[in-house]
Amino acid sequence: VQPAMLGLWSLLLLWGLATPCQGLLETVGTLARIDKDELGKAIQNSLVGGPILQNVLGSVTAVNQGLLGSGGLLGGGGLVGHGGVFGVVEELSSLKIEELTLPKESLKLLPGFGVQLNLHTKVGMHCSGPLGGLLQLAAEVNVTSRVALGVSSRGTPILILKRCSTLLGHISLFSGLLPTPLFGVVEQMLFKVLPGLLCPVVDSVLGVVNELLGAVLGLVPLGALGSLEFSLATLPLISNQYIELDINPIVKSVAGDIIDFPKSPAPAKVPPKEDHTSQVTVPLYLFNTMFGLLQTNGALDMDITPELVPSDVPLTTTDLAALLPEALGKLPLHQHLLLSLRVKEAPTVTLNNKKALVSLLANIHVLFYVPQGTPESLFELNSVMTLRAQLTPSATKLHISLCLERLSVKVASSFTYAFDESRLEEWLSHVVRVVYAPKLNVALDVGIPLPKVLNISFSSSVLEIIENAVVLTVAS
């Protein structure tokens, strides 16, 4: 036995001891729970015409031809054509396969092991009858396979065919004459050759599904911020209703260096998954990481100049002096202001009580323009902004939009007389809502990527904010 095979068997052996927790699950990573209905859809879609299977099996293109018609796997020169699995049969009895109807799938998840997959189909064939003329036959066949859930050499979930058998059902004679004793001969012949015909179909189906499972893990670009890579944190688990993947998100800079922001010290307690739904949990860590990337890249900084401000937003020395006449009453009037806003540490995200809040600490330097000169400093403020985050799922991302809830300021330094900074809070809140928050939302347009789980779209998912995580649930 090769060492690589021993490693795979070891993974499968360990797997047999693991099934998901049925109650509250504590996690700090991204958790994906794939309902068995979604796995069934992926299998059925691959039979209908998956991109990999089309080259091997052909596609459903003609009435009554089925998936594996004359242009597909069963056509001349195909798997069961001349020289194929049925070569010996053709030499003995001129039996030829005409049609294999689109199989219907049914599956059962086997906790701690994998999947039992059944494919029910009908095989159409013809041959020269012993009494002359053409015989046309059809046989119902059930393909039963046991499939183990393992991990590939790339570290992705993989379905591995372990056992495959066929059960021959009713045989119908549509035309021609066939003596009753020869029915048994035909049955024996089909019993011997059908596994060689249909079990490779199962393998091809699993190949397509494995491609989809492998897409769960991969590199997702974040534009100028870098990229996000998903990898398995632990062995996948399987229950009788779903497959559970514990996914570790790895953030990388544009240069490819791993960026490690602090993870939440308190794990999220994920509620149980309901039947016929799939679920993805987005941890607090990813939110903090996204805002940390924006801060380190300077995307949260802004110079608010008159050109960026609508006419209804007061941004002149006259407006400011009206708020603080004692301290600023002697300023030259009608001069434009410049607000230089700098965020010097990563914002903090809080997820709980069905709310998502972002706390942002910003230094606001207020200056005024001097005719034919450089802007002169008036004062600097340390501000704390609390912004409510509106979360909206799309097919592949979780989008974030911010609006200001409240703002407080303290004077950091001043070139004027002492003043009560609280009198500036309403004015600054208006500027932030109209000018700064929209700029933040443009920077946040990149969104938080969701792992690709069997091409499941989360655009219509139900979103729930729990402590330290966001849970997206979509019906199968």
Give yes or no for a contact between 101 and 121, defined as CB atoms under 8 angstroms apart. Answer: yes
318: left (phi over 0), alpha (psi -120 to 50) or beta: alpha
Contacts of 178 (CB under 8 A, 6+ apart): 129, 130, 135, 137, 186
pLDDT in tens, 166-194: 888 888 888 877 777 777 777 777 787 77
Q: 261-475 adopts what CATH topology?
A: Bactericidal permeability-increasing protein; domain 2 (3.15.20)
- Whether the pTM exceeds 0.85: the reply is no
Residue 37: per-residue pLDDT: 95
Residue 28: per-residue pLDDT: 58
Judged against a pLDDT cut of 60, whether residue 3 lies above it is answered with no
Mean pLDDT of the 319-326 span: 88
Least confident of 68-77, 225-234, 284-293, 364-373: 68-77
286 sits in which H/E element? helix 284-296
Mean pLDDT of the 335-350 span: 94
* C-alpha distance across the termini of the chain, in Å: 41
pLDDT tier at 69, thresholds 50, 70, 90:
very low
Strand partners for 24: none
Residue 200: per-residue pLDDT: 81
Residue 154: per-residue pLDDT: 86
Residue 267: per-residue pLDDT: 77
Residue 442: per-residue pLDDT: 96
Residue 51: per-residue pLDDT: 42
Judged against a pLDDT cut of 80, whether residue 327 lies above it is answered with no
* Residue 361, CA atoms < 13 Å, CB-side half-sphere: 9
Closest CA to 30 of 271, 277, 212, 231: 231
Give the Å distances, CA to CA, from 93 to 99, 210, 455: 18, 39, 46
Judged against a pLDDT cut of 70, whether residue 224 lies above it is answered with yes
pLDDT tier at 366, thresholds 50, 70, 90:
very high
Mean pLDDT of the 17-42 span: 74
Q: 33-217 adopts what CATH topology?
A: Bactericidal permeability-increasing protein; domain 1 (3.15.10)
pLDDT in tens, 259-312: 877 666 677 888 889 999 999 999 998 999 899 999 999 999 999 998 899 888
Mean pLDDT of the 433-446 span: 95
Domain boundaries, the chain: 33-217, 261-475
Tokens 């700090």 found at: 28
pLDDT in tens, 385-410: 999 999 999 999 999 999 999 999 99
- The burial class, CB within 10 Å (0-12 / 13-18 / 19+), for 286 is buried
Instruction: Tell which wins on pLDDT, 280 or 102.
Output: 280
Judged against a pLDDT cut of 70, whether residue 93 lies above it is answered with no
Instruction: Tell which wins on pLDDT, 426 or 134.
Output: 426
* Mean pLDDT over each residue of the chain, to the nearest integer: 81
Judged against a pLDDT cut of 70, whether residue 152 lies above it is answered with yes
Instruction: Tell which wins on pLDDT, 97 or 357.
Output: 357
DSSP-derived pairing of the beta strands 30-35 and 242-252: antiparallel
pLDDT in tens, 121-130: 887 877 776 6
Least confident of 52-61, 200-209, 449-458: 52-61
Mean pLDDT of the 435-445 span: 96
pLDDT tier at 256, thresholds 50, 70, 90:
confident
Instruction: Tell which wins on pLDDT, 28 or 433.
Output: 433
Mean pLDDT of the 195-210 span: 85
Residue 16: per-residue pLDDT: 41
Residue 264: per-residue pLDDT: 66
Least confident of 255-259, 327-331, 435-439: 327-331
- Give how far the C-alpha of residue 214 lies from the chain's centroid of Cα atoms, to the nearest Å: 11
How many CB atoms neighbour CB 199 within 10 A? Answer: 18
pLDDT tier at 326, thresholds 50, 70, 90:
confident
Least confident of 87-91, 150-154, 210-214, 376-380: 87-91
Closest CA to 232 of 223, 251, 245: 245
pLDDT tier at 70, thresholds 50, 70, 90:
very low
